[in-house]
Amino acid sequence: MQKLRKAHLYLGCLFAPMIVFFAVTGVLQMAGLHYRDNSDSKIVMLASTIHMEHGFKLKNGGSLDWSSPAMHLFVFAMAAGLVLTTVIGVVMAFKFGKGRAAFWSLFAGVAVPALLVLLKIGH
C-alpha cells in the first residue's frame, strides 16, 4: 500500500498543473470565451488550442495554436495518470477511510451526474 501512496503522490504532483489547466480552459470554453477574436482573450484562445487540439483562424488570416504532437502525447499520459491516480485514490479511501463514507461519496459521484443527464434528457 505504501507503493500505491507514493505512486499517487508523485503522479498527482506531476499532472496536477495540467489537470487544473484543463479544468480552467474547459470552464472558459463552456462560458464561450474561447471564440472571441479580440486582444482581451488572445491568451484564452491560445490556451484553448491545447485543450481542443486545433488552432484558431484569425480575421487577419493568421492562426493561433499552442498544440503539438509532443503536447498530445503528454496530454494522453496525463489522462492515463489521472485515471490511475483516481483509482488509487478510491482504493486508499476504502482502505484508510471509513467504508460507508467512501462508498456513499463514490455513489454520489456517479449518481449525481447521471441524474443531471437524465433530467436533461427528460426535457
Cβ–Cβ under 8 Å, residues 43 and 54: no
Separation between Cα atoms, residue 29 and residue 93, nearest integer Å: 32
Q: Is residue 104 assigned to a domain?
A: no
**pLDDT score recorded for residue 43:** 73
Let me know how many helices (H) and strands (E) the chain has, helices first.
Answer: 4, 2
Residue 118 lies in a domain: no
Give the residue from 86, 51, 56, 43 showing the smallest Cα distance to 72: 51
Per residue in 65-90, pLDDT (tens digit) is 666 778 778 888 888 988 999 999 88
Tally of domains within the chain: 1
14, 19, 11: which is closest to 84 by C-alpha?
Answer: 11
Q: Is 90 left (phi over 0), alpha (psi -120 to 50) or beta?
A: alpha
Cell 467512501 locates to 102
Asked whether residue 19 is assigned to any structural domain, the reply reads: yes
Residue 66 lies in a domain: yes
Range of the domain at 21: 2-97
10 located within any domain:
yes
pTM over 0.75: no
- Residue 112 belongs to some domain of the structure: no
> What is the pLDDT of the chain when averaged over all its residues?
79
Highest mean pLDDT, choosing among 22-36, 63-77, 84-98? 84-98
Indicate whether 119 belongs to any domain. Answer: no
Kindly report the three-state secondary structure assignment for every residue of 43-59.
Answer: HHHHHHHHHHCCCEECC
pLDDT in tens, 49-62: 666 665 555 556 66
Q: Domain for residue 47, yes or no?
A: yes
Q: How confident is the model at residue 7 (pLDDT cuts 50, 70, 90)?
A: confident
Residues 67 and 22: their CA atoms lie apart, in Å, by: 13
